[in-house]
A and B are shown apart, each in its own frame.
Chain A
Amino acid sequence: VTPVDRKLSLSWLGLVALTLMSFAAAEGLVSHRLALGGIFAIAAIKGQMVASRFMEVGHALPHWRALYRVWIVAVAILLAAGHLI
């Protein structure tokens, strides 16, 4: 097991934990508006993890990193806004 493998395995566990958290939020542990904001925020964090770790965007040039980050945040905000407004 290389350090890269360990890092990716930890990222995967993190993704599973975040998914369970978004499930808990959606199942009514918090208020509706908070839950909606929470699940799309969690989706953005997961998206950022997949892009930077599994798609190696973390090693890419700064403008690629920025492009992915902007895209992920913009999609999450759009989806959340679509539900909240």
Chain B
Amino acid sequence: VYGDPNYGAHYIAAIEALTPDDLRQAAAACFEPQRANIALLLPTGTELPDSATVLAWSQPEQRHSPRHMPQATSPIPVIDLPGGSKLIVQTDRKAPLVSIRTVLDGGQRTAPQGKAGLVRRRLILALVCGALFSASKLTEYSGKFAAGITPVTNSFYSFYFLLTFIHFLHVLAGMVFIAHCLSRAGAEAGHPGYPTKLENTGLFWHFVDLLWLFLFPLLYLAGLK
């Protein structure tokens, strides 16, 4: 499958819009009689027609006469398959091949459609997790300050406060993005931009998570012993 996924739709519309006059115009522009090359495929032993007869075949009034025009074919059939795909059948008499193009709706782009409730529940769960993390950070900081530990206590705590606080700010930013997605879940469900918004928020959130996976052993585990 390649090219424009809506090719089938445009193709049929364009073919159906064509009139015999369009074809005559195109033929008049493209096929000039003086440029014609005539090839004859004849059974062996057939008597060759004289050149006057052959030339007469190439005359415009002959070529454009209705009996030389291809018969109008029936409309191109479009069959709706059970899975939601469309099967478009085109005849190409030049080649003994069948060409099939399929377009499927799939992936994240269509997933949240009609699932606003599910999306909303999961965003709330993410917000609750973010709030729990924030609460644990604030408890931790207040405990440190109460014990007289500040960013200037020593170089470990300088790094500890700096790294965890910058990470914490990113968690808060992620929660703002999640809250925004949550507030738009109803209004924008099924809107083409909404899944992109969700994807970007999810990527940001998990990247902040990924950073924490390294900050946690660095600041909390490696120094324990």
Contact = CB atoms under 8 A, between A and B. Distances in A.
Interface of A: 19, 22-23, 25-28, 32, 35-36, 39-40, 42-43, 46-47, 50-51, 54-55, 72, 75-76, 79, 83
Interface stretch (B10-18, B168-176, B216-224): B216-224
Task: Report, as a range, how many residues of chain B touch the other chain.
Answer: 10 to 19
Contact of A36 (B207, B220, B222): B222
Contacts of A54: 202, 206, 209
Quick one: which of B203, B206, B214, B216 has the most chain A CB within 10 A? Answer: B214
A23 B221 contact: yes
A42 B206 CA distance: 17
Interface string B194-225: 00000000110011011001101110111011
A47 B211 CA distance: 8
Given A25-B221, A43-B216, A50-B206, 16 more contacts: A22-B217, A28-B225, A32-B225, A35-B225, A40-B222, A42-B217, A43-B213, A43-B214, A46-B213, A47-B210, A50-B210, A54-B209, A55-B207, A79-B214, A79-B222, A83-B222
Interface of B: 202-203, 206-207, 209-210, 213-214, 216-218, 220-222, 224-225
A25 B216 CA distance: 14
Main secondary structure of the interface of A (DSSP, over half): helix
Nearest to A78: B214
* Interface residues of chain B: helix, strand, loop or mixed (majority): helix
Contacts, number: 53
Nearest to A31: B225
B224 A75 contact: no
A5 to B, nearest CB: 10
Q: Which of B206, B217, B218, B220 has the most CB of A within 10 A?
A: B217
A76 B222 contact: no
Given A26-B225, A39-B222, A55-B203, A79 B217 contact: yes
Contacts of B221: 22-23, 25-26, 39
28 contacts: A19-B216, A22-B217, A22-B221, A23-B221, A25-B221, A26-B220, A26-B222, A32-B225, A36-B222, A39-B222, A40-B222, A43-B213, A43-B214, A43-B216, A43-B217, A47-B210, A50-B206, A50-B210, A50-B213, A51-B206, A51-B210, A54-B206, A55-B202, A55-B203, A55-B207, A79-B214, A79-B217, A83-B222
